[in-house]
């Protein structure tokens, strides 16, 4: 366990790394929050919400954090299945019969949550803003590999899969379930479907400058090929082709569980603090020990057919792949979380009772978080 004294000895280094991002790494606005044993011990926020520097950034600034939303969505599905007595090795079609179309009748919840379902892209071109047509396309889609025999990141389809599972079991869209079962009880400033009253608090996102991130050349070669699975996966369902699209209120309100989360670093870290503290908050068990095991235990690892690098996943959360040169979640093998496009990152480290979140509006170029986020994580464990 990392005791408070040991952590406090690292805080100066974390603050220095945070400041360095602004001095030499083009940081515009950013927040970092760290929780230890259920209490926030670090809250850093600085910079601006826009390039015109007309609005300062503080700890209450909201910002879209892209795929870091996937961890929130996975927690909803795992909690719901657990409370309904549905096993992870049960077929998705047991609650969503039409999902069996195209030969997917044997796809399990575990496979869907760990990117093994074989449907990272859809053959039909459908709009990301049209939930019903996306669901119909998923129902008819044939797997692009034999489910359970390989894995490949499902950048967008993942969210529609999880959303429809929640709708079938609970009756509510996933964003509503998250707000009622997690955000409201915990007082989280996190949204999967941002209400209009919060729109004026959102910082503007900016794309990263072209670069050549270490170890990601194979991904970018594939992404440059319009016919590749990688390119198809990141554009399916279609729409929102540029970062600027996520500055549109319609995108904030859409409630996409794969990529539509909006919130603060403090609340994102607090969500993971619950998971790092045994799933109990204020004397109430929000998630069971069995669910925490599902979040922590790796289901698949190795070469990712979409990312073209080694990845590892538990039931809905990313893990550090064995032997990975770039560790996102610190040294503990029990840690789990999820990054987001441009460098946002959040995770729980149950072994050390630690939770971390970093969000920003000036995105970095790279498929996984780079030095701005990783130097912050490194400072916690150095």
Spell out the domain ranges in the chain: 4-71+173-381
Q: How confident is the model at residue 163 (pLDDT cuts 50, 70, 90)?
A: very high
Residue 9: what pLDDT? 72
Residue 109: what pLDDT? 98
- Class of the 4-71+173-381 domain? alpha beta
Residue 55: what pLDDT? 96
Alpha carbon distances (Å) from 44 to 8, 146, 201, 373, 376? 14, 45, 18, 13, 11
Residue 273 and residue 355 in contact, taking contact as beta carbons nearer than 8 Å: yes
Alpha carbon distances (Å) from 113 to 15, 78, 342? 35, 9, 23
Above 90 in pLDDT, residue 211? Answer: no
Above 70 in pLDDT, residue 5? Answer: no
Give CA–CA dist 270/275, Å, rounded: 9
Q: How confident is the model at residue 213 (pLDDT cuts 50, 70, 90)?
A: confident
φ, ψ of residue 27 to 5 degrees: the values are -60, 140
| pLDDT per residue as tens digits for the range 7-53 | 677 777 899 999 999 998 999 999 999 999 999 999 999 999 999 99
State the pTM of this model: 0.96
**Per-residue DSSP letter, 190:** E
Residue 1: what pLDDT? 58
Catalytic residue list:
67
The whole-number average pLDDT for the span 271-289 is 97
Q: How far out from the chain centre does Cα 32 lie?
A: 16
| pLDDT per residue as tens digits for the range 100-125 | 999 999 999 999 999 999 999 999 99
183, two tokens: 């955000």
Above 70 in pLDDT, residue 162? Answer: yes
Give CA–CA dist 288/294, Å, rounded: 10
89, two tokens: 């090795």
**Per-residue DSSP letter, 45:** E
| Residues counted in the chain | 382
């Amino acid at each position: 366990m990392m005791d408070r004294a040991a952590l406090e000895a690292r805080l100066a280094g974390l603050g220095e790394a945070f400041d360095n991002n602004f001095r030499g790494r083009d940081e515009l606005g950013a927040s970092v929050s760290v929780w230890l044993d259920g209490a926030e011990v670090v809250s850093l926020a600085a910079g601006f919400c826009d390039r015109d520097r007309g609005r300062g950034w503080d700890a209450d600034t909201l910002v879209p954090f892209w795929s870091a939303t996937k961890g929130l969505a996975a927690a909803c599905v795992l909690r719901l299945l657990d409370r309904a007595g549905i096993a992870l090795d049960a077929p998705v079609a047991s609650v969503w019969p039409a999902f069996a179309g195209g030969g997917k009748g044997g796809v399990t919840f575990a496979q869907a949550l760990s990117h093994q379902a074989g449907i990272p892209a859809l053959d039909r071109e459908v709009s990301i803003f049209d939930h019903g047509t996306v669901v119909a396309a998923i129902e008819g889609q044939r797997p692009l590999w034999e489910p359970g025999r390989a894995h490949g990141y499902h950048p967008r389809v993942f969210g529609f899969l999880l959303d429809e599972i929640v709708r079938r079991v609970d009756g509510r869209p996933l964003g509503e379930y998250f707000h009622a079962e997690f955000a409201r009880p915990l007082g989280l400033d996190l949204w999967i479907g941002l209400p209009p009253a919060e729109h004026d608090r959102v910082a503007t996102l900016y794309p990263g400058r072209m670069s050549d991130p270490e170890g990601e050349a194979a991904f970018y070669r594939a992404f440059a090929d319009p016919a590749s699975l990688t390119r198809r996966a990141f554009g399916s369902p279609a729409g929102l082709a540029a970062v600027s699209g996520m500055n549109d209120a319609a995108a904030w309100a859409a409630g996409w569980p794969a990529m539509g989360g909006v919130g603060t670093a403090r609340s994102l870290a607090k969500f993971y603090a619950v998971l790092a503290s045994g799933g109990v908050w204020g004397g109430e068990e929000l998630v069971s020990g069995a669910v925490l095991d599902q979040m922590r235990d790796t289901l698949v690892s190795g070469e990712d057919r979409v990312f073209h690098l080694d990845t590892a996943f538990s039931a809905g959360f990313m893990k550090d792949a064995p032997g990975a040169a770039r560790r996102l979640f610190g040294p503990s093998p029990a840690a789990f979380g999820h990054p987001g496009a441009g460098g946002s990152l959040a995770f729980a480290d149950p072994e050390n009772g630690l939770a971390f979140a970093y969000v920003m509006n000036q995105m970095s170029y790279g498929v996984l978080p780079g030095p701005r986020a990783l130097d912050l994580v490194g400072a916690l464990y150095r």
